[in-house]
Amino acid sequence: MKNWNDTKSIRKDFPILERKIDGKPLIYFDNAATSQKPVQVINALTNYYENYNSNIHRGLHTMSEEATLAYEGTREKIARFIDAPSEREVIFTRNATEAINIVVESWGKHNIGAGDEIVITSMEHHSNFVPWQKLCEDKGARLVYIEIGADGNLDYAMAERLITNKTKIVAVTQMSNVMGTVVDLKILGKLARLNGAKFLVDGAQGVPHLPTSVREIDCDFLVFSMHKMLGPTGVGVLWGKEELLDLMPPMLYGGDMISSVTREKTTVNELPWKFEAGTPNIADVIASGAAIDYLQNLGMQNVRAHELELTRYAMDAMLKLPSMKIYGPQNPELKGGVISFNYEGIHPHDMGQILNESGIAIRAGHHCCQPLMKTLGVMGTARASFYIYNTIEEIDFFVDALIKAEKVLNYVACR
């Protein structure tokens, strides 16, 4: 088992961290966009292609059976990871965005009507914003927003006022990808249940970083993406309560989602396969199982503890810089390992580019959260985000680079 407190040992599992950018060691602080992959995940991917590359479910030969066992084994691992009652409730998708769209298409279009309300927050990623907005336009429903307070936390008093018997679903992020704000899902879930509404959690940012139990949250749907939690790209997860998924029609039709087909009628398959039409992303799902194993070995409580240490240290150092503005909660205990910031008078894109010259990878822009940017009164922010392989030493280098960047960019601006 990997020692979660031995970051040097953990870093050895990530070959890409040996890379240099313009001759400088890579400091990867763009984990909210996607995480890096350990050798265990890379090896699982290549092992599939080198040793048992085959289609699943349909074949009777040895390699097909091996691939099926490995693919379905990942489903079982994910069910345990999120404390799901059954692996039948775990649906593989391409990403969290597709998972939300399945809920919109297969549940929303059959349960949302004119005059109904859908409650989201003002800090949602476009993936948990645009599909609901479009559904409201099509159905004559109303999209209702829970705002954030001046401290960057959700206004739970407003949530209590807005979630009513008109609410059909509450769909919220587990953790803001911009401000790192951690949402109290138990409060919102209780409000949804009291008003007879369904409850969807966008866990794209939360599940990779926080211990997550769908039983404790008591949500109806949870979505997340494996590429943000050490796994490959192209694999998302939709978890839903079995009684809801049973009633929802498939979004896609074709191979493997069927039970039987005649000229007159098609009978759909049982869960979870009725939502997985066609040949799936077999190799990357199998490799995702290795990512789950890696995080399980570390322990998600330990992942959270490490990121909290990094975030607290980084914020303490950054807030000492005179031109620094950090958005969202100023208390690290109330946020994940995400820090969005701006330097007064410096465009975040310029900041991102000059930090790249020091080998530091951050994100700059609106982070697919344009409504939130409007709320914050900015066009965009620079964003540093941390994960299990980041270190205090990297943060020291990052803060020094921020100081140098400010001097350089202010000098250029004054010429």
Dist CA 224 CA 84 (whole Å) = 14
**What is the rounded average pLDDT of the residues 81-86?**
98
Same-domain status, 197 and 322: no
Output the pTM of the full model: 0.94
Average of pLDDT values for 268-282? 87
Question: Distance (Å, rounded) from C-alpha 386 to C-alpha 10?
Answer: 14
Do residue 109 and residue 215 come from a single domain? yes
| Domain membership flag for residue 180 | yes
Digit-coded pLDDT (tens) for 124-138 = 999 999 999 999 999
- Predicted confidence (pLDDT) at residue 411 exceeds the cutoff of 50: no
Distance between CA atoms of residues 351 and 357, nearest Å: 10
Q: Mark whether 250 and 333 lie in a shared domain.
A: no
- Inform me whether the pLDDT recorded for 1 exceeds 60: no
* pLDDT for 303: 97
Q: Based on the domain organization, do 176 and 287 belong to the same domain?
A: yes
Residue pair 27/19 in contact (Cβ under 8 Å)? The answer is: no
Q: Which of 136, 219, 368, 369 is an active site residue?
A: 368
* pLDDT for residue 403 is more than 60: yes
pLDDT in tens, 56-71: 987 789 999 999 999 9
Same structural domain for residues 293 and 304?
no
Same domain, yes or no: 265 and 183:
yes
d(CA 177, CA 168): 25
Tokens 């959270």, residue located: 304
Q: What is the DSSP letter of 106?
A: I
- pLDDT tens for residues 205-237? 999 999 999 999 999 999 999 999 999 999 999
What's the rounded Cα separation, in Å, for the pair 101 and 114?
20
Q: Do both 235 and 291 map to the same domain?
A: yes
Q: Which residues contact 411 (CB under 8 A, 6 or more apart)?
A: none
The whole-number pLDDT of residue 259 equals 73
Q: Which two tokens stand for residue 398?
A: 């990052």
Average pLDDT for residues 276-285, to the nearest whole number? 93
**What is the mean pLDDT of the segment spanning 239-247?**
96
Q: Which domain holds residue 308?
A: 7-30+300-414
* Pair 266, 331: CB distance under 8 Å: no
State whether 280 and 321 are in the same domain. no
368 classed as catalytic = yes
Say whether pLDDT at 44 is over 50: yes
pLDDT at position 262 is: 75
Let me know whether 196 and 125 are in one domain.
yes
Least confident of 106-115, 149-158, 253-262, 275-284: 253-262
Instruction: Mark whether 355 and 264 lie in a shared domain.
Output: no
Q: For residue 93, how far is the Cα from the chain centroid?
A: 13
Place of tokens 């099926």: 68
**Domains in the chain, number:** 2
What would the two tokens of residue 158 be?
Answer: 């407003």
How many angstroms separate the CA atoms of 395 and 82, rounded?
31
More confident residue, 176 or 251: 176
In a domain, 189, yes or no: yes
Write down the pLDDT at residue 118: 98
User: Which pLDDT band, with edges at 50, 70 and 90, does 5 fall under?
Assistant: low
User: CA-to-CA distance for 193 and 203, rounded, in angstroms?
Assistant: 19
Residue 270 clears pLDDT 90, i.e. is over it: no
Cα distances from 243 to residues 14, 202, 212, 271, in angstroms, run: 40, 20, 21, 10
- Out of 273, 297, 321, a domain closes at 297
Work out the mean pLDDT of the chain and round it to a whole number: 94
Q: Where are the alpha helices (DSSP H) in 319-391?
A: 348-356, 370-376
Question: pLDDT at position 70, please?
Answer: 97
Q: What is the CATH number of the domain that holds 305?
A: 3.90.1150.10
CA distance 276 to 238: 11
pLDDT tens by residue, 291-339: 999 999 999 999 999 999 999 999 999 999 988 999 999 999 999 999 9
